[in-house]
Amino acid sequence: MNYENIYIEEENGVATITINRPKKLNALNKRTISELHTAFKELDDDKEIKVVILTGSGEKAFVAGADISEFAHFSIEEGWQLAAEGQKLLFDFIENLSTPVIAAVNGFALGGGLELAMSSHFRIASDNAKMGLPEVSLGVIPGYGGTQRLPQLIGKGRAMEMIMTAGMIDANKALEYGLVNYVVTQEELLPLCLKIASRISNNSPVAVKYAINAINAGFKYDVNGYAAEIDAFGSCFGTNDFKEGTSAFLEKRKANFQGS
């Protein structure tokens, strides 16, 4: 596919997706959401890709929000469809992807941008990053999972305050809240993401996939996370990666995982 708003770089089993709308501070519009869905699907199907890093172009913004000009005149039904389709196509899709996704938050992550970062499996921020969900200042609420994922990540009270005040927090506050795992300089951001991605890549892709599924299960109201973990744990025993991993351990050698 010819991408207009994103570009992809691949090296040593790690793919980096960069949202490339710098004049719009990488704001999400329908085309960008569609392109991101296609890119994530293709990379997830590629057995050579072990980790995906998601970031924004330039030094100002990861994603500064949704493109408000696209939905300012929507009806109730159109607003409902915007949220439902967006969640299914991209945000829930990323959260449940078999391939780990690291958000490299390199600047403003506001509204849909923060929701995109939160749908990733974890986040690393540059020290100039600022994060927030300002939707109530526009007479609307977060619609791409923000009211659900933010409380899961930082707690109900803090999420309530952030959403109701429409305020922003800086990178260090995000670190204190547990919203991001690390804060580094802009120059160190992608190298750190690549370093962590490399460590993940050394492990069994099948086991990593099962771990993602089991962890996510614990945050779903209609799923028993412990039962999901037991099922995933048992399933690992039927994989070639389990045979290889245990054999390598017993033989005191480095495992050569095939992802099956």
Tokens of 151: 């409380």
As beta bridge partners, residue 6 has 19
Local structure of 55: helix, strand or coil: strand
Residue 229 backbone phi and psi in degrees, to 5: -65, -45
Catalytic residues: 115, 135
Rounded Cα gap, residues 122 and 119, in angstroms: 8
Question: Tokens standing for 164?
Answer: 């109701």
Residues contacting 47, CB < 8 A, separation 6+ = 205, 259
N-to-C CA span, the chain = 28
CA dihedral angle for residue 236, residue 181, residue 190, residue 100, rounded to 10 degrees: 20
